[in-house]
């Protein structure tokens, strides 16, 4: 996209009125200066328009756009014609790395492969977590409590029948926060963004999802440092593989009276 600056000079420069001082003389003149301007980085996503700042921060963290919360300087959400817009101001090294990834990052409410130019660009190795996950078998009572408490917090699901939920649960299984979205990945990103914005320790609880356990959810938990992912429905084989390699404990088919442990 071309841009014509106010001074009529080449793109990327501005022509400014200056006063040159030399040998005791002062003369008005024009000078060219390199242009520096804020650039908004906007991701196009399909999502439920709730908790948008948390969604953007969680997405940036869980997708590796930034490595830590401190690399996000500002986040601002607003509604525009036909949708909503969230603008992130991120550190320059993170922005340069993002350009080098050559990924369109056009997120949808469906699969996590959307928007990737090549299967070779899929991030299937998030690396081991800094802290090993605690044994899932010790969490039986906590998982049962989370399964029992979650439905009462699913306001959007009760009203529409069309929303996934990502719950943040304490060590005892008490549901502390719930984020809903038409996309399960978006719901988890909102949870991750909330943890980051609130400065909470992701190792001090676990994520409970009302969906199946797809590979993206396991990868996002690994990158966010969430030690346990519990889901109501089944996992995929790739989700199990990623959870095992990264050290995320994975429990699925979670009910009030039991679950299946996949990472023992």
Residue 55 backbone phi and psi in degrees, to 5: -60, -45
Q: Where are the domains positioned within the chain?
A: 1-37, 41-121, 136-261
| Span 41-64, average pLDDT | 84
pLDDT 10s digits, 75-86 = 888 887 878 888
Higher pLDDT, residue 24 or 248: 248
Please pick, among 111, 162, 221, 254, the residue that the annotation labels catalytic.
111
Four-way CATH pick for 136-261: 3.20.130.10, 3.40.140.10, 3.40.50.1970, 3.10.180.10: 3.40.140.10
* Residues 255, 144: Cα–Cα separation, whole Å: 6
114 part of the active site: no
| Span 187-214, average pLDDT | 95
Query: How distant, in Å, are the alpha carbons of 3, 8, 180, 247 from that of 167?
Result: 46, 54, 9, 20
Q: Is the pLDDT of residue 138 over 90?
A: no
> What integer pLDDT is reported at residue 131 of this predicted model?
59
Type and span of the H or E element at 180: strand 175-181
pTM: 0.75
> What integer pLDDT is reported at residue 37 of this predicted model?
64
How many CA atoms lie less than 13 Å away from 109 in the CB half-sphere?
Answer: 12
Relative orientation angle of helices 215-224 and 52-62, to the nearest 10 degrees? 90
Q: Is the pLDDT of residue 216 over 50?
A: yes
Tokens of 181: 């979205």
């Amino acid at each position: 996209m071309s841009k014509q600056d106010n001074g009529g000079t080449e793109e990327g420069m501005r022509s400014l009125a200056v006063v040159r001082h030399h040998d005791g003389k002062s003369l008005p003149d024009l000078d060219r200066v390199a242009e520096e301007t804020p650039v908004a980085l906007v991701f196009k996503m399909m999502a439920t328009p709730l908790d948008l700042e948390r969604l953007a921060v969680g997405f940036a963290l869980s997708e590796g756009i930034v490595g830590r919360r401190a690399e996000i300087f500002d986040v601002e959400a607003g509604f525009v014609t036909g949708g909503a817009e969230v603008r992130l101001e991120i550190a320059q090294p993170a922005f340069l790395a993002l350009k080098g990834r050559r990924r369109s990052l056009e997120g949808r409410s469906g699969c996590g492969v959307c928007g990737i130019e090549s299967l070779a660009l899929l991030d299937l190795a998030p690396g081991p977590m800094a802290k090993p996950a605690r044994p899932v078998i010790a969490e039986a009572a906590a998982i049962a409590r989370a399964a029992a408490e979650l439905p009462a917090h699913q306001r959007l699901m009760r009203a529409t029948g069309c929303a996934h939920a990502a719950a943040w649960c304490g060590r005892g299984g008490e549901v502390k926060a719930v984020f809903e979205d038409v996309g399960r990945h978006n719901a988890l990103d909102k949870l991750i963004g909330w943890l980051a914005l609130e400065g909470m320790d992701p190792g001090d609880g676990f994520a409970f999802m009302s969906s199946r356990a797809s590979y993206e959810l396991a990868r996002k938990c690994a990158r966010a440092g969430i030690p346990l992912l519990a889901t109501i429905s089944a996992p995929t084989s790739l989700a199990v593989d990623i959870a095992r390699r990264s050290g995320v404990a994975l429990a699925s088919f979670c009910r009030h009276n039991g679950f299946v442990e996949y990472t023992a």
